[in-house]
Amino acid sequence: MTANTRDRLLDALETLLLEKGMSHVTLESVAATAGVSKGGLLYHFKSKDALLAGLVRRLSERAEQHLGDAVAQGTSVAEWYLQTPNPADAAEAVELEVYRSMLATMRTIDAGSSPDTDEVQQALSEMLDTWSTGLDEEIDDPVRADIVRLVGDGVYLRALLGLPPVEPQRYRAVVDRLLER
């Protein structure tokens, strides 16, 4: 089995989450969609929760790449964190849908109910900790870093829930206020 198989399995999981929802995600359906045997899937992911944790980690890697690209173009970590997702952008719309599916998945997980579930929680925690570290390194005031983090989380949650965004000029004023030096 190759890393390519692992990617195909995660692609299949994303596809099923987006097209059919979590209720249709089984190890068998993911394996079939990826064109591998269930044994091939279990070689890479020992359980459904391990598969979900793998997807969370891949989403985290994508976010880190987006952040790295933004910083390379002169955007601060805080500015990136406070960006509103743009559903009109095809790539961002797909990311929102995947995160929405993951959010629905996370609601079904009872924290601490099993070692596998802990793996999903750990993957989520690692993703959020990475972003927190970047904000903490960039912003001298830890309280302001937490405010930026909480505002960014709230804006993203609004987008995930399909709620209308804050009026752009007003939100720009919020961001400018938060980022004042």
How much is the pLDDT for 117? 60
Given this model, what pLDDT does residue 1 score? 44
- Give percent of the chain above pLDDT 70: 85
Q: In the 3-class helix/strand/coil scheme, how is 88-114 assigned residue by residue?
A: CCHHHHHHHHHHHHHHHHHHCCCCCCC
| 109 conformational bin, left if phi > 0, alpha if psi -120 to 50, beta if neither | beta
What pLDDT is recorded for position 108?
A: 56
Question: Which of 115-119, 126-130, 147-151, 153-157 is most confident?
Answer: 147-151
pLDDT of 55 strictly over 70: yes
> How confident is the model over 31-58, as a mean pLDDT?
93
36: pLDDT confidence band, cut at 50, 70 and 90? very high
pLDDT 10s digits, 58-72: 888 888 888 888 889
Which of residues 112 and 128 earns the better pLDDT score?
Answer: 128
- How far is the CA of 23 from the CAs of 16, 18, 29, 62, in angstroms? 9, 11, 11, 25
The residue with greater pLDDT, 120 or 13, is 13
| Residue 84 CB contacts under 8 Å (≥ 6 apart), including other chains | 155, 159, 165, 166, 171
